[in-house]
């Protein structure tokens, strides 16, 4: 592994990660701050929390990708393929929920799925050999 890769992995591993409960609390705090909950508030709060979860998801993904790339190129490729498939699934599922359940789902669904994906990727990071 090159020195820049080692440095990047070390730096990324020092960044704080947010737990599922923290995201739920952030979402609830946002709703509470508005007082009245309506579709617009749900969308705004979900977008805010979703953006944070996406940043964490990308951070963990990069750690995993660099780790796998250094030790098992095939696993790095599979991680990339899996992530692309997951993104396609998330986008399609949330589009369907938005059309069939209601407009807040266009933002609430990706938020929930992004938070779940953070947990899935964190599991891989914590338990990879």
Match 């979703």 to its residue by tokens.
50
Whether residue 9 lies inside any domain: the answer is no
Give me the helices (H) in the chain, please. 3-14, 20-34, 39-71, 73-100, 105-127
Whether residue 6 lies inside any domain: the answer is no
Contact 93, 106 (CB under 8 A): no
What was the pLDDT predicted at 18? 59
What was the pLDDT predicted at 9? 43
Burial of residue 29 (number of CB atoms within 10 Å: 0-12, 13-18, 19+) = exposed
What was the pLDDT predicted at 10? 43
The domain total for the chain is 1
List, for the chain, all residue ranges whose pLDDT scores fall below the cut of 50.
1, 3-16
Whether residue 78 lies inside any domain: the answer is yes
What was the pLDDT predicted at 20? 64
Whether residue 11 lies inside any domain: the answer is no
pTM: predicted TM-score of the whole model, two decimal places: 0.83
> Tokens for 123?
């599991």
CATH number at residue 25: 1.20.1270
Contact 95, 34 (CB under 8 A): no
Whether residue 47 lies inside any domain: the answer is yes
Match 């009245």 to its residue by tokens.
36
Query: Residue 83 belongs to what domain range?
Result: 19-127
What was the pLDDT predicted at 7? 45
Whether residue 75 lies inside any domain: the answer is yes
What was the pLDDT predicted at 21? 75
> Tokens for 44?
């705004």
């Amino acid at each position: 592994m090159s020195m820049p890769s080692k440095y990047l992995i070390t730096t990324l591993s020092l960044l704080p990660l947010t737990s599922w409960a923290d995201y739920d609390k952030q979402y609830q705090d946002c709703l509470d701050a508005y007082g009245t909950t309506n579709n617009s508030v749900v969308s705004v709060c979900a977008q805010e929390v979703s953006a944070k979860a996406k940043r964490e998801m990308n951070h963990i993904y990069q750690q995993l990708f660099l780790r796998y790339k250094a030790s098992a190129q095939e696993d790095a490729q599979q991680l990339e393929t899996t992530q692309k498939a997951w993104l396609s699934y998330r986008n399609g599922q949330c589009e369907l929920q938005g059309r069939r359940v209601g407009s807040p789902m266009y933002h609430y669904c990706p938020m929930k799925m992004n938070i779940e994906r953070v947990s899935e990727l964190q599991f891989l990071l914590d338990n990879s050999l």
